[in-house]
Amino acid sequence: MLRYPPSFATVFSASSHVVLPVASLLVWGAVAFSAVTWGLRWSATGTNPSNTTAAAQALPEVDVSAAARSLGAAPVQAAAAPTLASRFQLQGVMAGGPDAGAALIAVDGKPAKPFRVGAVVADGLVLQSAEGRRISLGASMDGAQTLLLELPAKK
C-alpha cells in the first residue's frame, strides 16, 4: 500500500486543534498584562488630596542661605554701581580761552572721542570748560560744575 503525503485539509484540521488554544492563550495573556499595567499606573498616580495637604504642611521651612553656606557657597556681593567720575577718562586737553577748547574723553570704557566746549559728553553732562590739564563737566554751560577731571600725572 502506498502512502501519500497528508493533504492540506488534513494538516489544517489537525493543527487547528493546537493553534486555536495557543492563540487564545496569547490573547488572554496580553489582556491580563494590559490590565495589570494600567491598574499599577492608576494606583501610583491616584493619591488622596487630603494626604497631599498634610504632607505639604509637615515640611519644615528651609533657610536657603544657610543651606548654601553649609555646601560651601561664598556670599554674593552686590556689584557697586560705577561712580560718575569712574565713567570718564580724560586723555587730552586743548585749552583755547574762556569759551573755547576741546578735550579727548573716553566714556564708559569706549574709545576716546574729541569734545568741544559746549558739547554734550554723556546724558545730562556738557563740557563747560577746558583749562590747562583739567576740564569741568556740568548739566549746562552756565550751570553748576558737576564733575572736575584732570589729566593723569606724567610718568
Three cell numbers written together for 51: 494626604
Contact 145, 137 (CB under 8 A): yes
What pTM, to 2 d.p., does this model score? 0.47
Please write the tens of the pLDDT for every residue from 101-126: 899 999 988 999 999 999 999 888 99
- In angstroms, the CA 100 to CA 102 distance is 7
Quick check: helix, strand or coil at residue 56?
helix
- In angstroms, the CA 135 to CA 94 distance is 10
CA atoms within 13 A on the CB side of 154: 2
Cell 554734550 belongs to 120
Please write the tens of the pLDDT for every residue from 2-12: 566 666 555 55
